[in-house]
Structure 1
Amino acid sequence: MSDNLTILAGRTAYRHIKENGLSSDDIDAMLGASGAAKWLSIYGIDSAIFSQWFSGRTRPLHLFGTSIGAWKFAAAAQNNCQEAFDRLKHAYIHQHYKGRVLAVEIARETRRIMNEFLTHQAIDEILNHPWIRIGFSSARCKGLIGSKHSSVQAMGVGQAFALNAISRKLQRFCFERVLFHHPQYDTGLLEENIFSTTPIPLDRKNFSQAILASGSIPMVMAGVTHIAGAPEGTYRDGGLLDYHPAFSLNPEQTGFILYPHFYTQLTPGWFDKKFSNRRLKGKAVDRMILLAPSPEFVCTLPFGRIPDRRDFIRLMGRDNERIQAWNKAAEMCKVLGYEFMEAAESGSIKNKVKKFD
């Protein structure tokens, strides 16, 4: 069997798969991580899951994403999700910058991407989807990091990093998690972790601004303000608190969380990246099933790695080279979706699944 795809499961999920395999109705929720261009490495998994594996589903599926995780779920919840995934992929890959990448250019390109895959009709489809319940978060800023002045904002970033180094819980002094969600979203389905959450229902008036806020990276993009129906303030990337969203299911739920991801490890917050001891394991992943490209497969991709946002700097002035490499990576990664479908449908997932470390 091919080793292109890694399938990891927490203790309860692992036992279920070994005994029963995995069906689409076993999944109660899906999580989507921040990661910008890294999403291209799992585009094929997401496409296969939503366009094929979930075909015919009727019971609610709850989604929670941040940044590109929010954007991909907005594609997943459109009527023709395969086409929407392809439009998002194409729009994201074909970003163009001249010389040094400036905030105003990033804002322009971000709006272009959003307009290409998220039309008014698409928003109506998402909000009226018969079974997908979309949810995504943004971090409402407190104190210095909410400033629009880069020097003050930089001090706020430093403050947040310092507090996080002491304890992740101290991030509450810098951010408030705001969950923008489908009107029929069950906000009690995912257990709260160490941060409280302010829920805000989505509608046509706030959808575009809310999803833009979920991916507004500090020091790179302007924060989003005046989101209809939400508390006043500056909203930035949801990945600040939930870089790789990590929630458990409410104990009343009997299903599992499915998590297509770029890596085989989960880093809770953006400021946790340098703290290897904060990777999630144990009870936090008990009912979670994670799908990721294997290290061996990643080595075969262009440049021998997963695409990432730093390619804009590495290949500055060479957009055509970057576009060609990213297109090739996305095309190669379709095999991961095929392998997941084959493993789930044939039952071979019982042999392929491994336990979380």
Structure 2
Amino acid sequence: MATQWLQLRAGKRAWLQIKEQGLSEADIKLLVGASGGPKWFVLQGLDRYLFGELFAQREQPLDLLGTSAGAWRFAALGQKDPVAASELFARLYSTQTYSAKPDVKEITDEARKLLAEYIPDNAVQEILSQERFRHHWIVVRCRGLTASEGKRQLVGLLASAAANSLKRRWLGKFYERVIFHHPASPATFAEHWNDLPTRFATLSQDNFKQALLATGSIPLVLEGVRDIPGAPAGIYRDGGVTDYHFDLDFSGVDGLVLYPHFHHEVIPGWFDKRLKSRRTSGSLWPNVILLTPTQEFIDSLPYQKIPDRKDFAELDASERIKYWQKAVDQGKWMADQLHDWIATDKIRDHVQLWQ
């Protein structure tokens, strides 16, 4: 029996539809990408398949929702050659190196250099002038001490974490969710997201790179992005603070939601990682298809784990780069399996009900 590298779980509505009809690219109306830093390397093979094959001839609009690494991954879509762009991003990110003890400025400067090479000005124009792939990025606008840098920011983070542990909606006292969206998208699927203070801003040539940098600006690791054009004045940081793996209402999506994810758990916000009672489930997302690596896949990786940011500190640069490239290479196994399941209609046999 062939090894199964990919696990496919679906909410009840999506599960029934796949069981009855299989899955075609036209069924999918929203593609979702989570925060998680280098964890995304195991998904790059899936991205290559989705960007270069499944959605390559798509005619109807596909909405994209991402925070942090998810938003950066999806910035390849809408470019002239999205597969080449995705591979470039993987190479630039995986080969980043820093001094022995990098500070916030050094890490921020390196992120800006990566962004300039990955998304040159002509790529911004390409993305904004097409309407097939409609980007939506979540960024948080900070309030109070969370808008500071250094120790004052740490105090604000600790206070917001404490508030979140009591009630998630209390995060709204510290952060405002801002959804930057493609100019061709009315973002109607998100108009009822009122669990936290939420507002919308249109992506433009003037703010595209700043918004993308902001959604990956991890607190205490990178500098916040100040006063993004087309959005309220303030300090903006990583969208994963409020929406790490998402716990949002997708019922406004007129179709299925495809979510390639690197972990079997879906954690709503950054501060919920240790709150085991807070996990998103298929019962909350009836139209979502969740794709994740199996334990067999994870066990096949070096160190029997997917990459993470700790690797910067725990491995020397050459070993880390080799390990991360291995994760990218092996991720193609999941892509090949998904391609086979869709092409042969075996996906009906492999989809599980996610509850």
TM range (shorter): over 0.9
Amino acid at match of 2:115: M
Aligned partners of 1:245 and 1:268 also within 8 Å: yes
CA deviation vs aligned residue, 1:275-332 (integer Å, no higher than 9, x gap): 11110114422100011111111111111100001100111xx101111111111011
SS of 1:284's partner is: coil
Aligned partners of 2:225 and 2:237 also within 8 Å: yes
The CA deviation at 1:44 is 0.6
Amino acid at match of 2:291: L
Sequence identity (%): 38
**Partner Cα separation in structure 2 for residue 282 and residue 5 of structure 1:** 17
Structure 2 match to 1:69: 70
SS of 2:277's partner is: helix
SS of 2:35's partner is: coil
SS of 1:274's partner is: coil
Q: Indicate yes or no: 2:351 matched with 1:350.
A: no
**Partner Cα separation in structure 2 for residue 9 and residue 2 of structure 1:** 21
The CA deviation at 1:2 is 3.3
SS of 1:156's partner is: helix
CA deviation vs aligned residue, 1:141-189 (integer Å, no higher than 9, x gap): 01111112x1111100000000001010100000000011100113212
Structure 2 match to 1:324: 322
Structure 2 match to 1:311: 311
**Partner Cα separation in structure 2 for residue 345 and residue 169 of structure 1:** 43
* Deviating more after overlay: 229-238 vs 195-204: 195-204
Structure 2 match to 1:78: 79
SS of 1:278's partner is: coil
Aligned partners of 2:268 and 2:279 also within 8 Å: yes
CA deviation vs aligned residue, 1:72-108 (integer Å, no higher than 9, x gap): 1101221200000000000000111121122122112
How many residue pairs end up in the alignment? 353
Q: Indicate yes or no: 2:210 matched with 1:212.
A: no
Aligned partners of 1:217 and 1:236 also within 8 Å: yes
CA deviation vs aligned residue, 1:6-56 (integer Å, no higher than 9, x gap): 101001100111111100000010111000100101111111011100121
Structure 2 match to 1:5: 6
Aligned partners of 2:128 and 2:182 also within 8 Å: yes
**Partner Cα separation in structure 2 for residue 291 and residue 193 of structure 1:** 27
Structure 2 match to 1:27: 28
**Partner Cα separation in structure 1 for residue 154 and residue 254 of structure 2:** 44
Q: How does 1:155-194 map to 2 (within 5 A)?
A: 155-190=155-190, 191-192=192-193, 194=195
Amino acid at match of 2:305: R
The CA deviation at 1:344 is 1.2
**Partner Cα separation in structure 2 for residue 259 and residue 98 of structure 1:** 35
The CA deviation at 1:339 is 1.0
Aligned partners of 1:133 and 1:182 also within 8 Å: yes
The CA deviation at 1:193 is 5.1
Aligned partners of 1:140 and 1:233 also within 8 Å: yes
Aligned partners of 1:48 and 1:337 also within 8 Å: yes
Amino acid at match of 2:123: A
The CA deviation at 1:130 is 3.2
Evaluate the alpha carbon distance shift between residue 131 and residue 46 of structure 1 in structure 2; reply closer, same or farther with a 3 A threshold.
same
**Partner Cα separation in structure 2 for residue 84 and residue 270 of structure 1:** 28
Structure 2 match to 1:53: 54
Structure 1's unaligned 5+ residue stretches are none
Aligned partners of 1:5 and 1:339 also within 8 Å: yes
SS of 2:300's partner is: coil
Aligned partners of 1:32 and 1:245 also within 8 Å: no
CA deviation vs aligned residue, 1:173-218 (integer Å, no higher than 9, x gap): 0000001110011321234151242110011101111110001011
**Partner Cα separation in structure 2 for residue 197 and residue 269 of structure 1:** 15
Structure 2 match to 1:340: 338
The CA deviation at 1:129 is 2.1
**Partner Cα separation in structure 2 for residue 263 and residue 322 of structure 1:** 20
Structure 2's unaligned 5+ residue stretches are none
**Partner Cα separation in structure 1 for residue 206 and residue 338 of structure 2:** 37
Q: How does 1:270-281 map to 2 (within 5 A)?
A: 270-281=270-281
Runs of 4+ in 1 over 4 A off after TM superposition: none
The CA deviation at 1:268 is 0.6
CA deviation vs aligned residue, 1:210-263 (integer Å, no higher than 9, x gap): 110001011111100021111011101000000012333344x44110001001
Aligned partners of 1:58 and 1:130 also within 8 Å: no
Amino acid at match of 1:68: A
SS of 1:62's partner is: strand
Q: Indicate yes or no: 2:139 matched with 1:138.
A: yes
**Partner Cα separation in structure 1 for residue 295 and residue 19 of structure 2:** 23
Structure 1 match to 2:236: 235
Structure 1 match to 2:299: 299
Structure 2 match to 1:122: 123
**Partner Cα separation in structure 1 for residue 334 and residue 145 of structure 2:** 42
* TM-score normalised to structure 1 length: 0.96
Structure 1 match to 2:227: 226
Report the aligned-residue RMSD.
1.2
The CA deviation at 1:125 is 1.1
